[in-house]
Each structure stands twice: as structure tokens, then as C-alpha cells.
Structure 1
Amino acid sequence: MTYFQVGSLAIPAVWIAVVGALFVASLFNWAVMGKKVEDWYWNGFFYYFVSWKLSYIVFNFNLFLDMPMSVLYFNGGEKGHALALVILSIYLLVALKRFPFLYEESSRLFLLYFISYQVIVGFLEKSSLEMFIHLVLLFGFLLLLQKMKKILISSQMFLLFVFLELLIISLFNSFFSLESLTIIWMGSIVFILGMKADKGA
């Protein structure tokens, strides 16, 4: 894993990519669809981040009691990531009542976010070939959105791009890597939301 030194802090490239993709996906959404993302998008990231950080207390309670300030520097690791994904998933399902367009936006933003994330990670970790392949996939998806000019992506199209994303990842990493499992989990949640949209829920 690549790290970048910022003062006394060593920041993993993955963290930079996570935050960077959040804004890049929002920008692409605005450029192609002509609309800003709704608050559920930012709220979802906030709930994930807070849950992930505070999960350190849950899984390292004794260490936290000894050094309370350690929560600022550490997180719950893979277990915390899994817990944060569950909380994020619950939020998305609950947020449907407040944000009715979440049905239609989630699949598009999911793909924009995760493909952008892979492009940024490839750039930061200097994995040129992996970055280039993901970049081609990203441009292909953007061209498709531009041509369709539809808010809702069909379930079949969504699954196709998720499959392509997982295929690319498996070429360079294990299919059962944390990234792949994250995409499969959140992709399943978004797919459920898309099915509700198809039914006019």
C-alpha cells in the first residue's frame, strides 16, 4: 500500500482515493446529467466514515480506555469497514422515504464512484495498466450516460458494468479482495433499490 506523508501523518493512497472519488463522481454526475447529487449521497458517506472510525472503540475497547485519543488515529480495520457498510446499507434503505429519487440515482452514482475510485487508486499507486483499463471503463460509462440521457439505468446494464469492474479487479488482485467484496455487497444493495425503481415503488 502506498502512503503519502502530510506533516507527521502518513495517509494511505486508498483514503485519498475514497474521498477524491466522492467529489469526482459528484462532478461527473453534474456534468453529464446536469444536476447535483442529493443530500443522501453525502449523508451516506458521513455515516460510513463515522461508523468506520468509531468502530475502533467497539473492536478495541480496552485500548481505547487506555488511550482515548487513539480513536483519532485508528479505525476498526476490516471488521469496522464491514460494520460501516451494514450501517450505510440500512441508511440507504431508510432514506428512501425522504429522498424518493434515491431509487433512480443510486445505480449511476455507485458506478461513477467505484470506477473513479479505481482510477484514482491506480494513479496514486502508479499502476498504469490497471488505471488505464479502469479509465476506459469510466469513459465508456460516461459516454453511455451522455447518449441515454436517462436518469434510471436498467438492472441489466448495472450488472454488466459491475461485472466488468469485478473482472478488471480480479486481473490484478484476488477476486475475494476487500475491494471486490465491498463492490459485491454495496452493488447488491443498489440492485435491490433499482428493482424497486423498476417496479415503480
Structure 2
Amino acid sequence: MSFFQVGSIAIPTIWIAAFVALFIAAMFNRIVTGKKAGDWYWNGFFYYFILWKLSYVVFNLNLFLDMPMSILYFNGGTKGHIFALVILSIYMLIFASKRFPFLYEESVRLFLLYFISYKVIIGFLEKNNFEILIHLVLLSIFLFLEKGRKTQVSGQLFLLFILLELLIISSFGSILSLESVTIIWMGLIAIILGIRADKEAI
């Protein structure tokens, strides 16, 4: 894991990229559709982050009891990430989908914008210039294709960009990485939400 040094504090680059991508994706979504991201988007990220952080207590209870302040510096790791993804998925599929009527249409586009933006930002922080260029091209193509579209992203286009994203990741790392698993997992959630949107439109 790479770190970004801010004074005497070392912050993991993936934390910075994940946080900044949240706002970048919302900005691009507004440029493309003219609409701001729904509350479900911000709520989902907040729930994920809190659960991921607090899962440290569950999976490292003895260490937490010995050093309660350690929760500020550590998280639940891979187990905590999977746990938070499960709860986030339940939130989106069951609770958020009932409260936010535009969730189905927004989720697919925001999912792609978020992950591609994340890859651009983390590439910048880790100085992977060639990888940045590839993701910027991918992001530019997607924004061009989606400009002015009011309806949800088509299933074929979504799958194409997911496969391209996984291909790029496998070219610079392992296709079996946690990052790839996360993209596939959340991609499936977005597909399910997209299918629901199609059914409601009939």
C-alpha cells in the first residue's frame, strides 16, 4: 500500500482516492445529466466507511480493548471491507431502492464514474502516468457517450466498460485483487438495480 505524506502524517493513497473520487464522480454526473447525485449515493458511502472502520473493533477486539485509540489508525482490513460491502449492498437493494425512486437510473452511471475516477486519482497519487492516461481516455469516452443522456446507461455499455476496466487492472496487476472483486461485486449490484429499472419502465 502506498502512502501520501502530509507533514508527519502518512495517509494511504487509496483513502484519498476513494474520498476524492466521491466528489469527482458526483460532479461529472451533474455535468452529464444536469442533476445532482441523490442522497442514497452519499449515504451509501458514509455507511460503508463507518462500517469498514468500526469492523476493526469486531475483528480485533482484544487489540481495541488494549488500545482504544488504535481505531483512529486502523480498519477492518479485507474482512471489514467485505462486511461493509455486504451491508452496503443490502442498503442499496432493499432500503435505498424504496426511499429514492431515481436510484435505479443513477446507480449504474455513478458506479462507473466513481471507479474510473478513483483509478485516475490513485494513478496520479502513485505516479503511474501510463495507467492514468488509459483511464483518462476511458473516462473521456464514457463522458462523451453519456453527455446529455437523461435515461440510465444501457446494460451493454455498462458491461463493456466494466470489462475494459477489469482488463486495464489485470494489465497492471492481478485480476484476482480485492479491487477487481469490489468492481465485480458492485457491478453486479448495479446490474440488478438496472434490471429493476427496466422492469418498472415496462
TM-score (norm 2): 0.96
The CA deviation string for residues 117-156 of structure 1, in whole angstroms up to 9 with x for no partner, is 0001111101111111011000000000016x13211111
2:63 is matched by which residue type in structure 1? L
Structure 1: any 5+ residue segments left out of the alignment? Answer: none
Show the counterpart of 1:170. Answer: 170
2-side partners of 1:197 and 1:44: how far apart?
Answer: 19
Supply the AA of the counterpart residue of 2:47: Y
1:126 aligns to 2:127 (yes or no) = yes
Matched, 1:190 2:186: no
User: Retained in 1: the 8 A contact 2:56–2:77?
Assistant: yes
> In structure 1, what is the equivalent of residue 105 of structure 2?
104
Please give the residue correspondences for 1:1-201 in structure 2 after superposition, counting only pairs within 5 Å: 1-93=1-93, 94-146=95-147, 149-200=149-200
Distance 2:26 2:54 in 1: 26
Which 4+ runs in 1 deviate beyond 3 A? none
- Paired with 1:69 and 1:199, the residues of 2 have a C-alpha distance of 48
Given residue 70 of structure 2, which amino acid in structure 1 is its aligned partner?
S
The one-letter code sitting in structure 2 at the alignment partner of 1:6 is V
**Alpha-carbon distance, 1:169 to partner:** 0.6
Could you tell me how far apart the structure 1 residues matched to 2:117 and 2:167 are? 16
Separation (CA, whole Å) in 1 of partners of 2:7 and 2:59: 28
TM-score between both structures, scaled by the size of structure 1: 0.97
Spell out, residue by residue over 1:51-81, the C-alpha distance to the aligned partner (whole angstroms, 9 max, x if none): 0000000100000111111111110011111
Offset of residue 13 of structure 1: 1.1
Equivalent residues of 2:4, 2:125 under 8 A apart: no
Percent of pairs identical after alignment? 70
Conserved 8 A contact 2:52-2:81: yes
RMSD: 1.1
Task: Tell me if the contact between 2:32 and 2:146 (Cα under 8 Å) persists in the aligned partners.
Answer: yes
Q: Could you tell me whether the CA contact under 8 Å between 2:44 and 2:92 is conserved in 1?
A: yes
Task: String of CA shifts for 1:68-111, please: whole Å, max 9, x gaps.
Answer: 11111110011111111111111111211100110000000000
Unaligned 5+ runs, structure 2: none
- Please state whether the residue corresponding to 1:4 is helix, strand or coil: strand
Contact 2:53 2:74 in 1 (8 A): yes
